[in-house]
Amino acid sequence: MRKSDKNKDAESQILDAAKNIFQKKGMDGARMQEIADEAGINKALLHYYFRSKKLLFEAVFTNAFSLLAPQLNKILNDDSSIEEKVKNFTFNQISFIIKHPYLPNFIIQELNRNPEFFDTIKEHPSFPSLEKFKTQVQKEIQQGILKPIDGEQLFIHIVSLNLFPFIANPLLKGFLQKDDAQYKQLIENRKTEVSEFIIRSIKN
């Protein structure tokens, strides 16, 4: 354990340790003892602050979602053009995930394991809504700015292109035969590559 962490109060220290372990190993792979060790405290203290493994996990999960969701809202709820949105969104999202590379995989994986989990986050204040984005796409199509495309499909395209390279990191790294540094560079390039690719396809 690092000394600078010793000052932090126990609860946030547990959350921090739990985040690391859960995001790397998932709910089933994580061990309470391992989290306690990472936090530098006794295992019983985990249960003192968070009654059970399940509750500790849920705390970490909603915490992680609270980081990701506002990122999504950026593209959906500002007033710039679709082109601007795509550009800023891909750049910002890829930059953000570079700093939190385990986040998308963690959320997606645990949502697959337990889909009812979505009900928990549906109530989240910054839960994204697609309505504005969809109507804006339609409007720009009518104005002749964009070629015809379904807003929902476009949304899926964008998120897929942004997140998949992180989720499939080991797979793609293997296929492309890149080492960590090379793959990092490849992703770095995608900050602009992806939006250019999208814009080229949808802009008139």
Residue 25 binds its own copies (CB under 8 A): yes
Contact positions toward DNA, by CB under 7 A? 1-3, 6-7, 9-10, 30-33, 41-45, 47-48, 51-54
Q: HSE (CB half, 13 Å, CA atoms) of 168? A: 11
For residue 52, the number of C-alpha atoms closer than 13 Å in the C-beta half-sphere is 3
The DSSP result for 90-153, as a single string, is HHHHHHHHHHSTTHHHHHHHHHHH-TTHHHHHHT-TT----HHHHHHHHHHHHTTSB-S--HHH
Query: Which partner from the list its own copies, DNA, none does 176 bind, CB cut-off 5 to 8 Å by kind?
Result: its own copies
Q: State the nearest-atom distance from the C-beta of 54 to DNA, in Å.
A: 6
Q: Residue 203 half-sphere exposure, CB side, CA atoms within 13 Å? A: 13
Q: Which of 29, 48, 52, 78 binds its own copies (CB under 8 A)?
A: 29
* Min separation Cβ 60 and DNA, Å: 13
CB 111 within 8 A of CB 167: no
CB of 13 vs DNA, minimal distance in Å = 9
Question: How near is the Cβ of 123 to DNA at its closest, in Å?
Answer: 23
Q: Residue 65 is encoded by which pair of tokens?
A: 């979602």
Using the rule CB under 8 A, which residue among 112, 125, 143, 179 binds its own copies?
A: 112
Given DNA, its own copies, none, residue 72, with its beta carbon under 5 to 8 Å by kind, binds its own copies
Q: Does 125 bind its own copies (CB under 8 A)?
A: no
